[in-house]
């Protein structure tokens, strides 16, 4: 059975052996709507001079740069995180062996959220703005070109808030995701682009699948009350009239055979009294001067409502044999025709404690039913 591997470094220097000897627990969490974060606990001991080990250690100072690599096999690790220590929380107990230092941290977006700013951006596309802001923090930009450009007609874009919140707002207007990850060398990269739903999938999760089973448990929920459509308004500058724009179809790839509208729309039409469209919501906060920008924002909102299936579970990393990553597609087999299929990893918490490596996952899906194209035979 593979032994979990992990590597830590502080300010670019590999952690010394004493860190691994005294590490009690390590957690690293990736989540599509939050910053990547870590928590680890170190045993501390009272020294002869009355001080406690590690509490005054420069390796554990606020905003020390931390890098974490993980692997499911002995000696094999992949860079997953580079960020900074943001919290220190010593725990003292009457029994000295139960005392520890808890160290918490976040990816570089913690630096991008320290100051609220009022900045005007003129004659730059959203992707150019993202590249400029990431670059100001020394973060390499990985962006997809966005069509909207403010300026020239007096339509100047004003930033009111922190850099990362502003970029996330711009990302939502374009149907993009915005986050900071790491490249293959472990260096931070700022991403401003859509989710990739048709890329190479992770190895499959197997539920009650004889000798291939690698899931401890998985709870699944399908929510039929999600909105089926969305609408908003834009201001026509010629006649100052508000014009409605509606989106009732999805612009993203389906991970299954039937989407929620295909499953329930006809049934809802017969059970309710729809005015314009069954289960349509209006985004009152989406009032745009530019109709193209509004359409992209509404499409992003509509696509977000489409994720009506969620699953939560725990995977034994030693049995699975690979590191699960957020924002990746992962096949799940052994749950029947309706619920087996491809899912998107919405969140994963990597937990190493007591010599074991466990991965707690949250998965989402925008359609049910097997399509026949799933990579169920992939190695796990």
Percentage of the chain exceeding pLDDT 90:
72
pLDDT score of 345 more than 90: yes
pLDDT score of 54 more than 80: yes
Banded model confidence at residue 1, pLDDT cuts 50, 70, 90: very low
What is the C-alpha separation between 168 and 241, in angstroms, rounded?
A: 29
Banded model confidence at residue 153, pLDDT cuts 50, 70, 90: low
Of 81, 71, 68, give the one whose Cα is nearest residue 30.
81
pTM of the shown model: 0.91
DSSP letter string over 241-278? EEEEEEE-S--S--SSSB-HHHHHHHHHHHHS--SSST
Sequence spans of domains, the chain: 5-106, 112-193, 205-222+308-365, 229-304
What pLDDT shows up at residue 75? Answer: 66
How many angstroms from the chain centroid is the CA of residue 233?
29
Banded model confidence at residue 184, pLDDT cuts 50, 70, 90: very high
Condensed to tens digits (0 to 9), the pLDDT of residues 129-144 reads 999 999 999 999 999 9
What is the C-alpha separation between 356 and 258, in angstroms, rounded?
A: 38
CB count within 10 Å of CB 238 equals 6
CA angle 224, 255, 208 (to 5 degrees): 85
CATH number attached to the domain at 205-222+308-365:
2.30.300.10
When the candidates are 2.40.10, 3.90.25, 3.40.630, 3.10.450, the CATH number that belongs to 5-106 is 2.40.10
What pLDDT shows up at residue 50? Answer: 92
pLDDT score of 231 more than 70: yes
What pLDDT shows up at residue 375? Answer: 93
- Which range (88-92, 108-112, 148-152, 259-263) has the least confidence? 148-152
- At the fourth CATH level, the homologous superfamily of domain 112-193 is Baseplate protein-like domains (3.55.50.10)
What pLDDT shows up at residue 241? Answer: 77
* Average pLDDT value for the chain: 90
Q: Do domains 112-193 and 205-222+308-365 have the same CATH topology?
A: no
What pLDDT shows up at residue 4? Answer: 61
Condensed to tens digits (0 to 9), the pLDDT of residues 55-92 reads 999 999 999 999 999 998 766 899 999 999 999 999 99
């Amino acid at each position: 059975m593979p032994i979990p591997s992990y590597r830590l470094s502080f300010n670019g220097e590999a952690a010394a052996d004493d860190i691994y000897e005294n590490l009690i627990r390590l957690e690293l969490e990736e989540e599509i709507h939050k910053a990547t974060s870590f928590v680890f606990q170190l045993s501390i001991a009272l020294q002869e001079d009355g001080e406690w080990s590690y509490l005054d250690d420069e390796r554990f100072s606020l905003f020390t740069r931390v890098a974490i690599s993980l692997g499911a096999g002995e000696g094999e690790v992949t860079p997953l995180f580079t960020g900074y220590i943001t919290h220190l929380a010593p725990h003292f107990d009457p029994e000295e062996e139960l005392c520890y230092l808890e160290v918490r941290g976040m990816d570089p977006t913690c630096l991008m959220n320290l100051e609220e700013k009022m900045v005007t951006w003129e004659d730059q596309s959203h992707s150019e703005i993202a590249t400029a802001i990431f670059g100001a923090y020394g973060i390499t930009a990985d962006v997809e070109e966005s069509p909207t450009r403010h300026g020239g007609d007096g339509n100047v874009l004003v930033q009111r808030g922190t850099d990362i919140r502003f970029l996330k707002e711009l990302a939502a207007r374009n149907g993009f995701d915005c986050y900071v990850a790491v490249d293959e060398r472990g260096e931070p990269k700022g991403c401003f682009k859509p989710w990739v739903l048709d890329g190479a999938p992770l190895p499959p999760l197997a539920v009650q699948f004889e000798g291939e089973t690698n899931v401890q448990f998985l709870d699944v929920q399908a929510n039929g009350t999600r909105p089926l459509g969305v609408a908003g308004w834009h201001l026509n500058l010629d006649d100052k009239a508000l014009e409605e724009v509606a989106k009732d179809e999805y612009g993203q790839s389906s991970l299954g055979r039937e989407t929620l509208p295909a499953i329930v729309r006809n049934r809802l039409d017969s059970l309710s009294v729809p005015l314009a469209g069954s289960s349509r919501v209006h985004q009152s906060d989406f009032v745009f001067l530019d109709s193209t920008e509004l359409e992209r924002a509404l499409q992003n909102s509509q696509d977000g409502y489409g994720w009506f299936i969620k699953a939560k579970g725990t995977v034994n990393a030693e049995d699975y044999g690979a590191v699960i990553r957020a924002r990746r597609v992962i096949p799940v087999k052994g749950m029947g025709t309706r619920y087996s299929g491809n899912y998107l990893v919405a969140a994963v918490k990597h937990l190493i404690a007591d010599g074991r490596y466990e991965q707690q996952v949250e998965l989402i899906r925008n359609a049910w039913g097997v399509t026949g194209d799933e990579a169920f035979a992939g190695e796990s």
